Amino acid sequence: MSKTGIHWGLDEMSDGPHRSLKLRKPWKELAKRADQDTYDASKIAEATAYAVASDFKMEVSWHLMEALKAVFTGCDNSLEMPELALDQLENAKALAAASVFGTNLVEWSITLIHEGKFGIEAFHEAVGLAAKDRCHANIRSIEEHYLRDSNEHRAEHLSKRLQNAISTLSSTQLGLDLVGPEPNRILPSRKMEGLDDGVSL
């Protein structure tokens, strides 16, 4: 097989550089998918969303999310005054603590407020932009790792597939997916739909 080909031997694929990545398991899975042509673009995008969601869940506090959502929805700023919103965001920085993800989220929120963006979609956009920052940072780490442990051609091939996957993700939609919809009401089961069924109110 040509050394410059993009198909790797089975042994190299099963024990590939992704195994020694200094990143969490979902990012290792993403690197594996991007490295192997048996995974198409949709599978790489799926793994990208899952990996960044894993980091988001572990690193961004619920208190920070509630504070940022309140800023964007004008909870205590019904006139949507940017100056007041920016003061609120400065106060929210403490809630990000030592989280790089959280800190980037606050910084993107500040940027969007400077642009005069308010509302729930702007909130989702801020989350999505911070998530993309994390994706780009980890992709750089993955590419550098493959350059050290494999070869330049393989690293470039992997990086291109990862970048293409990120480019398909809408920041606003990604943010919405990470934040999730409002909790659904718990509906009665089908067995309790009759007029005489269930607990009396």
Instruction: Using pLDDT thresholds of 50, 70 and 90, give the confidence band for residue 181.
Output: low
Predicted confidence (pLDDT) per residue in 147-166, tens digit: 888 889 999 999 999 999 99
Neighbouring CB atoms inside 10 A of 131's CB total: 29
Both tokens of residue 127?
A: 């989350």
pLDDT at residue 123 in the model = 98
Do residues 51 and 98 touch, judged by C-beta distance below 8 A?
Answer: no
Both tokens of residue 155?
A: 């690293």
| SS3 state of residue 37 | coil
Instruction: Using pLDDT thresholds of 50, 70 and 90, give the confidence band for residue 3.
Output: very low
Structural domain spans, the chain: 24-180
Share of the chain above pLDDT 90, in %: 72
The yes-or-no verdict on residue 192 having pLDDT over 80 is no
pLDDT at residue 13 in the model = 41
- In this prediction, residues 88-103 reach a mean pLDDT of 95
